């Protein structure tokens, strides 16, 4: 397979630059794989598609203010995007300008808040040692890590809207965007009909890293951490045994569950570098709520594997014709 087989035309004006005025008011395209039907609805009606006995799996990770701006000791401006915590105050990060940030360079983010680059890695990545309690200071020096296709600076409302209503723990550097549509009222309606189980999948580089090799199978994804509690492990095992329908909210949940299935949903912290593309045989997931994704991305490949490439691209073309809003703050798609 070639990456170009997963391309589509998207007018720039359809890339959502802001969230909808009211959380939960997004449009929802519904894809019925059996019969290859496309329906058009609103996310507020998501509970109508839930059946008694369903299991809904959500990602309760919390987005941190992962984008930092500072200066080198020379006075030059720099940008640091945190990717993953390796140990206390030691983080893997993407930096700009990468070519000018070397091992040993000292960085200042605010008076008395300094860091040092301790290692250079491929792809513009660096290992950064912070000489202060970073997580305690993030609210002061960090910014909401909006993706680069949102062409504006973060606003105060992004601190709420780029976070799910059920965000509770973990440290993600991008939002699990399918969860952004939920309101507490919709979630409560879902709970009235089905069981909701929580996992934590820390969204990191794998979610937004561009694929560089034109042959799909030659690409790899960096690992991301996920966590399954004892209770969630028990519920997932039982649901699989009982052959209940499992509905996942977001591609991060898909990757976590499909990885977890290989070790019997063992509780605890695990890493996944699972790269899903057409031809993959799903073990756990029966339905998927997701957003509209970038062309040639690992996310559109995953969704193509689930829905079927031709059917999905037909749905995307129809989404463009009907002016759906795309990407993180855009509309959503329910694949049944």
Percentage of residues in the chain with pLDDT exceeding 70? Answer: 100
How many alpha carbons fall within 13 Å on the CB side of residue 328?
19
pLDDT digits (tens, 9 = 90+) for 210-226: 999 999 999 999 999 99
The CATH code for residues 70-143 is: 2.40.10.240
User: Is the pLDDT score of 98 beyond 90?
Assistant: no
C-alpha–C-alpha distance, residues 116 and 161, integer Å: 32
**Domain ranges across the chain:** 3-63+159-335, 70-143
Q: Are 52 and 193 contacting, i.e. CB atoms less than 8 angstroms apart?
A: yes
Query: Taking the model in full, what pTM does it have?
Result: 0.94
What sign has the CA pseudo-torsion 149, 153, 158, 164?
positive
The confidence score (pLDDT) of residue 139 equals 92
- Residue 33: Cβ-neighbour burial (10 angstroms; 0-12, 13-18, 19+): middle
User: Is the pLDDT score of 99 beyond 90?
Assistant: no
The stretch 158-165 carries a mean pLDDT of: 98
**Cα 315 versus chain centre, distance:** 21
Q: Which residue has the tokens 């037909």?
A: 314
User: Is the pLDDT score of 232 beyond 80?
Assistant: yes
The confidence score (pLDDT) of residue 187 equals 98
User: Is the pLDDT score of 61 beyond 80?
Assistant: yes
| CATH level 2 (architecture), domain 3-63+159-335 | 3-Layer(aba) Sandwich (3.40)
The confidence score (pLDDT) of residue 52 equals 95
The confidence score (pLDDT) of residue 8 equals 95
User: For all residues of the chain together, what is the average pLDDT?
Assistant: 96
The confidence score (pLDDT) of residue 116 equals 96
Q: Which residues, other chains included, contact 37 with Cβ-Cβ below 8 Å and sequence gap of 6+?
A: 31
User: Is the pLDDT score of 286 beyond 80?
Assistant: yes
User: Is the pLDDT score of 123 beyond 80?
Assistant: no
The confidence score (pLDDT) of residue 211 equals 95
**Residues β-bridged to residue 41:** 28
Q: Are 214 and 72 contacting, i.e. CB atoms less than 8 angstroms apart?
A: no
The confidence score (pLDDT) of residue 148 equals 92
Mapping DSSP to helix (H, G, I), strand (E, B) and coil, where does residue 260 land?
Answer: helix
H-run or E-run covering 230 = helix 230-241
The confidence score (pLDDT) of residue 202 equals 96
């Amino acid at each position: 397979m070639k990456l170009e087989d997963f391309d589509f035309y998207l007018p720039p004006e359809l890339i959502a630059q802001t969230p909808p005025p009211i959380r939960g008011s997004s449009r929802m395209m519904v894809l019925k794989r059996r019969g290859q039907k496309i329906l058009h609805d609103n996310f507020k009606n998501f509970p109508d598609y839930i059946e008694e006995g369903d299991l809904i799996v959500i990602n309760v990770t919390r987005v941190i203010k992962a984008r930092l701006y500072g200066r080198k000791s020379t006075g030059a401006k720099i940008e640091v995007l945190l990717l993953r915590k390796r140990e206390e105050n030691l983080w893997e990060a993407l930096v700009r300008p990468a070519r000018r940030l070397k091992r040993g360079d000292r960085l200042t983010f605010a008076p008395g808040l300094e860091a040092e680059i301790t290692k250079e890695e491929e792809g513009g990545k660096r290992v950064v040692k912070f000489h202060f309690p970073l997580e305690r200071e993030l609210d002061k020096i960090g910014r909401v890590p909006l993706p680069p296709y949102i062409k504006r600076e973060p606003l105060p409302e992004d601190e709420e809207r780029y976070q799910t209503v059920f965000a509770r723990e973990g440290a993600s550097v991008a939002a699990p965007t399918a969860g952004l549509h939920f309101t507490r009222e919709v979630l409560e309606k879902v709970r009235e009909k089905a069981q909701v189980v929580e996992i934590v999948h820390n969204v990191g580089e794998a979610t937004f890293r561009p694929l560089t090799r034109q042959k799909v199978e030659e690409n790899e994804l960096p690992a991301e951490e996920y966590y399954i509690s004892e209770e969630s492990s028990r519920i997932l095992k039982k649901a699989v045994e009982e052959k209940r329908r499992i509905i996942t909210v977001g591609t991060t949940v898909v990757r976590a569950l499909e990885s977890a299935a290989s070790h019997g949903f063992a509780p605890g912290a695990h890493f996944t570098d699972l790269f899903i593309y057409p031809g993959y045989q799903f073990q756990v997931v029966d339905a998927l709520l997701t957003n509209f994704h970038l062309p040639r991305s690992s996310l559109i490949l995953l969704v193509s594997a689930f829905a079927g490439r031709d059917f999905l691209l037909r749905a995307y073309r129809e989404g463009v014709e009907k002016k759906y809003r795309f990407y993180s703050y855009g509309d959503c798609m329910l694949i049944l």
